[in-house]
Each structure stands twice: as structure tokens, then as C-alpha cells.
């Protein structure tokens, strides 16, 4: 067990809640409560628990399609065994409701740049930031699957690099709209009938390759100046976008060496965009499987593993298989060569690298990928898990973690009641929120507006 090592630099922790939980075998555990994906009460409970743990934020992933829809369309009777991503709640409707029942925790939702208009996104997230008193965050994604395209009038998902080209311009429009109003634009002068100062509002007049947007935004500059922006792409264009615009970079990293290389690259690229690397928070995912002792945690992990069938494991590769039907390959043969994915290229690379490095069969690769989705799974007592987190943090591989609860309600409870107290004991994590806004708590400065220039 490590000694306490007080430091000024505090770890950032975001609860990445993807109901019914991040371990695919979790929902089948005897104490798992099913239905959390559409129970508002369950979302409230998870958010309030994460806030009790003084976690920086709660984060909701999203896609604009039922994830196993292609399997349903194929008439695959086992499609109904894919639970995660089958259904949920729309995050931009969910977060303002959660803002009303929490006071300090950050609220981050996913919004796709491929199937939205920038004005809508700018307006919704600025509103979330107003409602929550400065706790809003936007996870900018470009979407990953064909089935999302097909809900918006397209037969095929836009090409990977075109999506990122659009995402770059999309962000610039959103950021421009968020900067429509100076902080002190509203004067409310009853005596002179002056509501606002027109010199403190700007028309954007954006005219680019993908968008033509006049502006200004009909929501005032928000408490954080602009909501926190998160990006989690891992391909070349994904990393470049993250380095250019993100406050927080979420990632999936399996080893400390890879995480460090990723963080170094993002920080170095941020400098080339004129940014200060200390203004980025790099937070890889981690799935803690916790017990009061290492043995107890190991027992839990075995139980979780026994709950995943080979078939389910194979289906977890669907998103990264590049269209190849892996069911046609022998489970005990090697992972076949995969065509380049138009979805998650970074994630596909991680899978191939993991299978090649460890000489895994298709079955083994599928089971390992199903379990962590290329995120790091750490099993043990709070001290064992905290050792790994402390190592990554102190060796510069990250600024904190996206912590992924295994299932509802146990996952978040164990994080808050077992893991966080151990991180605190080591002086790595806060006992109280430092500020009122998510930006304050992440230790990030409020961006200057163009009116300050
Ligand atoms: C922690 C984390 C959360 C993510 N959440 C979402 C999400 O909610 N929706 C989505 O479409 N993609 C999500 N992604 C995927 C990335 O945004 C990105 O689309 C994916 O990694 C593919 O990008 P790439 O081709 O640049 O690697 C997430 C990735 C990570 C690491």
C-alpha cells in the first residue's frame, strides 16, 4: 500500500454513467436493478451519489440510434442480448432535470456534430450552463455508426475525415455563437428604456464550407464563459481536434505507456495550436472492479465474466469490425484482418494491437474487448486500484479519470464509498468542491470573450 503523498495537483474524476453499467455482465448480477436506462430516479441517484463523492462531473455518452439495430434488421435472434445502447434517455433533456436536483457536480452530455446544426447545440448547451449555474459540458462527437445516418435521411454514415472536417468548423461556429454577447451586455436601465448595449452584441456572419450562420445566439454568455468542451477521438484528425479545442480529452487506453504517449502527443499538439497544455484535462476511462479485499474483487470479476456469453462478446466487436461478419470465423482462430472502420478508428487500432501483442484468439480478443471496450479494467481492493490510478497520474499519463461504474447501483456506490476515500487518504482527491462552476473545479480559467480583446 502506498504512503500518503500530498500534492497541489489534484486528480479529476468524472463519473461516466452508461446504464445499465460499463461491464456487460453487470446487469445479470443478482443485486443489479434492471431498468436504470430509463428510470429518472436511477439517474438522480447516480448523479447525487457522484456529487456526494465530490466528483468533478457526471458524463453521459450518447448515440442517435438503437445500437443493436443492424442486428435486429438482420433478424438475428440474439440481437436482444445487447443491452447497453439499446435504449436510454436523451441527454440534453436529462441534464437540465439533473441540474435541478444537484448543486455542484458538472453535467456533461454528448452531442454529435454530424447530425445536428451548430445553432441548436450552441443554444442547448448555453442554456444548460445557465440553468445549472455554470456546470455544463459538451462532449463533441462525430457519431460512429451507419444506423445513426439512417435516422437522418442518409443511407451511409459520412466519411471519417469529412466528419472531422465538419466537426472542426461546427465547433468554430458554436464557439463564435457562445461569444455573441459580452458579459455585461444587458443593462436593464428602466429610466432610459435601455435593455442591452448593442455595442456588446456581435453578429457572427459565419460563411464556411459546411455552415452559413448569421447569429447572434439568443442565449446570453453563460456563467462559464462557455461550457466545458470534451473530445474523445483517437484517430489522427480526432486527436488534432481534441488538441485544438478541448478542455477535457477523454480516451480509452489499455496501458500506462500508451496513455503517456497519447497524453504527450495531445499536449505537444495543443502547443502547436497556441494553447497552454496545462489548460487541458486528459482523462482516460477506467473500470474499477472493487472489493474490500483483492480476493473479494477477484471473485466479483469472475462472476461478472461468467455472465458474458461468447456470442455477446463477439457482438461487442460489431462497431469496430469494419463491416466484417466475425461470426463466420472460428472462435479459437486468430482475429482476422479487419477492414478499416469508418466508425471508431482509434478503438479499432487498440483492439488489433491488443490481439496481436498478446497473441489472442478471436474468442479471447472479443471477451477482453467486450469487458473494457479497450478501457482499462482494474480489479482489486481500493488500495490496489488507487495504486494504478496514482501511478498513471504521477507519471503524467493523465490528469484524472473517467470512472466507469460496472452496474447499477453497486458500481457508483463502490467508487464513492471505497475508492474515493482511499484517493483522499493519499491526498490525491478533493474533500470539498473548490469552486461553483465545473471550470473552477477542473482548475481551468474562464475564457476571455472577444469583447475583452
Ligand atoms: C470515454 C469516451 C466516451 C465516448 N463517448 C461517445 C459517445 O457518447 N458517442 C459517440 O458517438 N462516441 C463516443 N466516443 C467515441 C469518440 O468520440 C470517437 O467518436 C471515437 O473514438 C472514434 O473517433 P476516432 O475515429 O477519432 O478514434 C467516446 C469515446 C471515449 C473514449
Per-residue pLDDT tens over the stretch 172-222: 999 999 999 999 999 999 999 999 999 999 999 999 999 999 999 999 999
Considering only CA atoms, which of 113, 254, 127 is closest in space to residue 170? 113
Between CA 222 and CA 224 the distance in angstroms is 6
8-27: per-residue pLDDT in tens? 789 999 999 999 999 999 99
**Cβ neighbours around 317 below 10 Å, total:** 20
Report yes or no on 432 lying in a domain: yes
- pLDDT at position 250 is 97
Q: Rounded to two decimals, what is the model's pTM?
A: 0.94
Q: What is the DSSP string of 321-388?
A: TTT--GGGS-TTSBPPPPPPPSS-HHHHHHHHHHHHHTT-BHHHHHHHHHHHTTSEEEEEEHHHHHHH
Q: Above 80 in pLDDT, residue 405? A: yes
pLDDT of the residue at 373: 81
Q: Does the Cβ of 441 fall within 6 Å of ligand 1?
A: no
Q: Is residue 310 part of a domain?
A: no
What whole-number distance in Å separates Cα of residue 21 and Cα of residue 287? 10
Nearest CA-CA partner of 354 in 341, 343, 369, 370: 369
Mean pLDDT, range 345-357, rounded to an integer: 86
Pocket test for ligand 1, best of 141, 163, 341 (most atoms within 8 A of CB): 141
Q: Compute CA 339 distance to the chain's CA centroid, rounded to the nearest angstrom.
A: 26
Residue 410 lies in a domain: yes
Residue 60 in this model has a pLDDT that exceeds 80? yes
Question: Is residue 317 a part of any domain in this protein?
Answer: no
Q: Whose CA is nearest to atom 21 of ligand 1?
A: 233
Q: Which of 351, 56, 375, 290 is nearest to 338 (CA)?
A: 351
Q: What's the 344 CA to ligand 1 centre distance in angstroms?
A: 7
For 117-175, the pLDDT digits (tens) are: 999 999 999 999 999 999 999 999 999 888 899 999 999 999 999 999 999 999 999 99
* Mean pLDDT computed over 296-315: 93
| Contacts made by residues 321-327, CB under 8 angstroms, sequence distance 24+ | 322/348, 326/362, 326/366
Taking 90 as the threshold, does the pLDDT of residue 318 lie above it? no
pLDDT band at 7 (very low <50, low <70, confident <90, very high): low
Number of domains in the chain: 1
Query: Are the C-beta atoms of residues 71 and 78 closer than 8 Å to each other?
Result: yes
Q: Where are the beta strands (DSSP E) in 57-132?
A: 57-60, 106-112
Q: Around 404, how many Cα atoms within 13 Å sit in the side-chain half-sphere?
A: 28
SS3 of residue 311 by DSSP: helix
**Percent over 90 (pLDDT), the chain:** 79
User: Which residues make Cβ contacts (< 8 Å) with residue 208, sequence separation at least 6?
Assistant: 169, 172, 173
Report the CATH number that the domain containing residue 211 is assigned in CATH: 3.20.20.30
Give me the phi and psi of 108, to 5 degrees please: -115, 130
Share above pLDDT 70 across residues of the chain, in percent, rounded to a whole number: 98
- Ligand 1 neighbour 91 (Cβ under 6 A): no
The whole-number pLDDT of residue 53 equals: 98
Ligand 1 within 6 A of CB of 62:
yes
Q: Provide the CA 383 distance to its chain's centre, in angstroms.
A: 25
Whether the pLDDT of residue 4 is over 70: the answer is no
Going by the DSSP 8-state scheme, the letter that residue 419 receives in this structure is I
Distance CA 259, CA 253 (A): 5
Range of the domain at 125: 12-289+376-442
DSSP state of 416: I
Residue-wise pLDDT tens digits, 221-239: 999 999 999 999 889 999 9
Cell of 382: 481500493
> Within a domain: residue 450?
no
- Mean pLDDT of the chain, nearest integer: 93
Spatial neighbors of 123 by CB under 8 A, at least 6 apart, are: 177, 217, 218, 219
Is residue 352 a part of any domain in this protein? no
Ligand 1 pocket mutation pick from 67, 90, 242, 344 by most atoms within 8 angstroms of CB: 344
Ligand 1 contact, 381 CB (< 6 A): no
The model's confidence at residue 6, banded by pLDDT at 50, 70 and 90, is very low
Ligand 1 centre from 100 Cα, in Å?
Answer: 28
CB-based burial, 197-219: b 16+ in 10 Å, e otherwise: eeebbbebebeeeebebebbbeb
Helices and strands of the chain, counted as H and E runs: 16, 13
Q: How large is the average pLDDT for residues 39-49?
A: 98
102 close to 74: Cβ distance less than 8 angstroms: no
> Does residue 252 lie in a domain region?
yes
Ligand 1 pocket check for 110: Cβ under 6 Å: yes
Q: What is the pLDDT of residue 315?
A: 84
Q: Which of 87, 85, 124 is nearest to 108 (CA)?
A: 124
d(CA 243, CA 446) in angstroms, rounded, equals: 18
Q: From the CB of 88, is ligand 1 less than 6 Å away?
A: no
User: Is the confidence at residue 313, as pLDDT, over 80?
Assistant: yes
The answer as to whether 343 is a domain residue is no
Alpha-carbon gap, residue 54 to 423, rounded angstroms: 12
Amino acid at each position: 500500500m502506498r504512503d500518503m503523498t500530498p500534492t497541489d495537483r489534484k486528480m479529476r474524476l468524472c463519473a461516466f454513467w452508461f446504464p445499465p453499467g460499463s461491464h456487460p455482465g453487470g446487469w445479470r448480477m443478482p443485486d443489479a436493478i434492471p431498468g436504470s436506462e430509463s428510470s429518472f430516479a436511477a439517474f438522480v441517484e447516480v448523479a447525487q451519489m457522484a456529487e456526494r463523492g465530490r466528483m468533478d462531473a457526471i458524463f453521459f455518452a450518447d448515440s442517435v440510434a438503437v445500437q443493436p439495430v443492424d442486428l435486429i434488421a438482420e433478424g438475428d435472434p440474439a440481437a436482444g442480448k445487447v443491452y447497453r445502447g439499446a435504449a436510454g434517455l436523451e441527454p440534453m433533456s436529462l441534464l437540465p432535470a439533473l441540474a435541478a436536483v444537484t448543486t455542484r457536480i458538472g453535467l456533461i452530455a454528448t452531442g454529435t456534430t454530424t447530425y445536428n446544426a451548430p445553432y441548436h447545440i450552441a443554444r442547448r448547451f448555453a442554456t444548460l450552463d445557465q440553468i445549472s449555474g455554470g456546470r455544463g459540458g459538451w462532449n463533441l462527437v462525430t457519431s460512429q455508426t451507419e444506423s445513426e445516418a439512417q435516422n437522418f435521411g442518409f443511407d451511409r454514415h459520412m466519411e471519417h475525415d469529412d466528419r472531422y472536417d465538419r466537426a472542426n468548423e461546427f465547433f468554430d461556429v458554436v464557439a463564435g455563437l457562445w461569444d455573441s454577447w459580452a458579459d455585461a451586455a444587458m443593462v436593464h436601465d428602466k429610466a432610459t428604456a435601455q435593455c442591452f448595449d448593442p455595442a456588446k452584441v456581435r453578429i457572427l456572419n459565419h460563411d464556411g464550407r459546411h455552415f452559413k450562420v448569421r447569429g447572434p445566439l439568443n442565449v446570453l454568455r453563460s456563467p462559464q464563459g462557455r461550457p466545458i468542451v470534451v473530445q474523445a477521438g483517437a484517430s489522427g484528425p480526432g486527436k488534432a481536434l481534441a488538441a485544438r479545442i478541448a478542455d477535457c480529452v477523454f480516451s480509452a487506453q489499455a496501458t500506462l505507456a500508451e496513455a503517456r504517449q497519447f497524453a504527450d502527443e495531445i499536449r505537444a499538439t495543443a502547443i502547436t495550436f497556441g494553447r497552454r497544455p496545462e489548460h487541458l484535462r486528459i482523462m482516460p476511462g477506467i473500470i474499477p472492479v472493487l472489493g474490500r479485499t483483492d480476493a473479494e474483487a477477484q471473485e466479483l470479476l469472475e462472476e461478472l465474466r461468467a455472465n458474458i456469453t461468447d456470442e455477446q462478446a463477439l457482438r461487442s466487436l460489431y462497431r469496430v469490425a469494419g463491416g466484417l461478419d466475425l461470426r463466420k470465423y472460428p472462435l479459437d482462430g486468430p482475429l482476422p484482418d479487419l477492414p478499416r472502420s469508418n466508425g471508431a478508428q482509434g478503438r479499432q487500432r487498440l483492439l488489433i494491437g491488443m490481439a496481436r501483442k498478446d497473441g489472442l484468439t478471436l474468442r479471447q480478443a472479443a471477451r477482453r474487448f467486450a469487458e473494457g471496450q479497450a478501457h482499462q479494467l482494474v480489479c482489486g481492493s481500493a488500495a490496489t486500484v488507487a495504486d494504478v490510478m496514482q501511478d498513471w497520474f504521477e507519471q503524467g499519463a493523465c490528469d484524472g479519470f473517467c470512472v466507469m461504474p460496472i452496474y447499477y447501483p453497486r458500481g457508483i456506490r463502490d467508487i464513492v464509498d471505497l475508492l474515493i476515500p482511499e484517493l483522499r487518504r493519499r491526498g490525491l482527491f478533493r474533500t470539498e468542491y473548490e469552486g461553483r462552476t465545473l471550470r473552477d473545479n477542473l482548475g481551468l480559467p474562464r475564457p476571455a470573450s472577444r469583447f475583452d480583446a
